């Protein structure tokens, strides 16, 4: 390790000279590249210099102990030597951390459920608006979206829709979307122009691997039936829809979008694993933080988190007191202003 550290120190000295040369300064691309390398290795070189200082101190104190001194002075030397050795070990640990390759943390895939709440047909239309908002946001970010299951309303909205989103940054930007979303607007069916308040609930879950959440087949009740669409009309002529009930928890998942019974079962199991994982995480949260609630919410589906006011073109996130008047842009998938405000609130709370 010391050999590698000396090589890094030598490179540090070379970079110091290069960054001071007029030739490199004139070539901005090269200058930026070398400046980044210099900044990257500076903490390691600083730690190495601290390490060498402590080694030198230990050698000096060890030599002092070999000389003749009174007991009080020897006791002082031994105490300083003990502290120097302790500090040396701390610096070595710091160097080890700096030289250990950092593995990029992969964003977990998300499964998002949107359900129409209070407000009848208007609530189902708002659920569809929220779904389109998230899909457009995913498109802007280059994330992958996969529809898992949906139950349409008679007016073209969604009673419930379940879909997955995966991609870099999806977790950090969307994990706080769980809760009740409220909309205030004039429904298309309202002839008197009266503003209605409707709601839809969003649940954001992390999609676990099969090995992370083990499900005993004996705990499952699986029903097969014929798919149906809005109004109850038959969609498929074969029994391909799947309903899975997890008997220990009572969680029920239904999937009927695919014509294949197998595919519907696979999708239903994905949702079931996500719901079970979310249930386990929620129980852990409640157990370890009964007296503490995150500033931006606990992820409870019943908690009112945001209001979309169409007459004032206003969107308010109630958890952090954030308000913007860019309603149209937000519904068109431009969620960065809100997600960044939530990420900032989380960071401030954790600092």
pLDDT digits (tens, 9 = 90+) for 66-97: 888 888 888 888 889 889 899 888 888 888 87
Q: Residue 335 gets which letter from DSSP?
A: -
Q: Token digits for 179?
A: 């809760």
State residue 116's pLDDT score.
Answer: 95
* pLDDT for residue 226 is more than 90: no
Q: Token digits for 291?
A: 């007296």
Lowest mean pLDDT among 228-237, 242-251, 282-291: 228-237
State residue 70's pLDDT score.
Answer: 84
Residue the block writes with tokens 């589906």: 301
- pTM over cut 0.75: no
State residue 139's pLDDT score.
Answer: 94
Lowest mean pLDDT among 39-43, 106-110, 156-160, 202-206: 106-110
Q: Which among 24-38, 48-62, 100-114 has the top mean pLDDT? A: 48-62
Q: How confident is the model at residue 25 (pLDDT cuts 50, 70, 90)?
A: confident
Burial tier of 252 (Cβ tally within 10 Å: 0-12, 13-18, 19+)? middle
Average of per-residue pLDDT across 264-282: 87
State residue 64's pLDDT score.
Answer: 86
CB contact at 8 A, 112 and 162:
yes
State residue 128's pLDDT score.
Answer: 96
Q: What is the spatial distance between Cα 323 and Cα 254, in angstroms, rounded to a whole number?
A: 37
Indicate the helix (H) or strand (E) that contains 345.
Answer: helix 336-350
* pLDDT for residue 234 is more than 70: no
**In the predicted model, what is the mean pLDDT of the chain?**
85
């Amino acid at each position: 390790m010391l050999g590698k550290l000396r090589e890094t120190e030598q490179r540090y000295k070379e970079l110091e000279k290069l960054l001071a040369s007029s030739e490199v300064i004139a070539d901005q691309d090269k200058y930026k590249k070398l400046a980044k390398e210099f900044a990257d290795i500076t903490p390691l070189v600083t730690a190495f210099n601290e390490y060498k200082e402590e080694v030198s101190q230990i050698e000096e104190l060890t030599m002092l102990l070999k000389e003749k001194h009174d007991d009080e002075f020897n006791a002082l030397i031994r105490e300083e030597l003990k502290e120097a050795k302790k500090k040396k070990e701390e610096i070595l640990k710091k160097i080890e951390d700096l030289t250990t390759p950092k593995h990029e943390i992969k964003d977990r895939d998300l499964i998002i459920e949107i359900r129409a709440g209070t407000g009848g047909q208007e609530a189902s239309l708002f659920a569809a608006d929220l779904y389109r908002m998230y899909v457009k946001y995913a498109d802007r970010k280059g994330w992958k979206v996969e529809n898992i299951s949906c139950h349409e309303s008679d007016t073209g909205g969604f009673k419930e829709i379940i879909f997955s989103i995966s991609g870099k940054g999806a977790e950090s930007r969307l994990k706080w979307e769980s809760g009740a979303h409220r909309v205030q607007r004039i429904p298309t069916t309202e002839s008197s122009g009266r503003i209605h308040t409707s709601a839809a609930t969003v649940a954001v879950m992390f999609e676990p691997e099969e090995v992370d959440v083990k499900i005993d087949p004996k705990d499952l009740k699986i029903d097969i039936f014929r798919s149906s669409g809005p109004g109850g009309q038959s969609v498929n002529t074969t029994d391909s829809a799947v309903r899975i009930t997890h008997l220990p928890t009572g969680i029920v998942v239904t999937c009927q979008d695919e014509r294949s019974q197998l595919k519907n079962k696979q999708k239903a199991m994905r949702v079931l694993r996500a719901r079970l994982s979310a249930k386990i995480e929620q129980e852990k949260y409640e157990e370890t933080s009964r007296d503490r609630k995150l500033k931006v919410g606990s992820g409870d589906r019943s908690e009112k988190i945001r209001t979309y006011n169409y007459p004032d073109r206003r969107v308010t996130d109630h958890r952090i007191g954030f308000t913007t008047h860019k309603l149209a842009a937000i519904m068109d998938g431009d969620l960065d202003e809100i997600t960044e405000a939530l990420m900032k609130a989380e960071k401030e709370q954790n600092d």
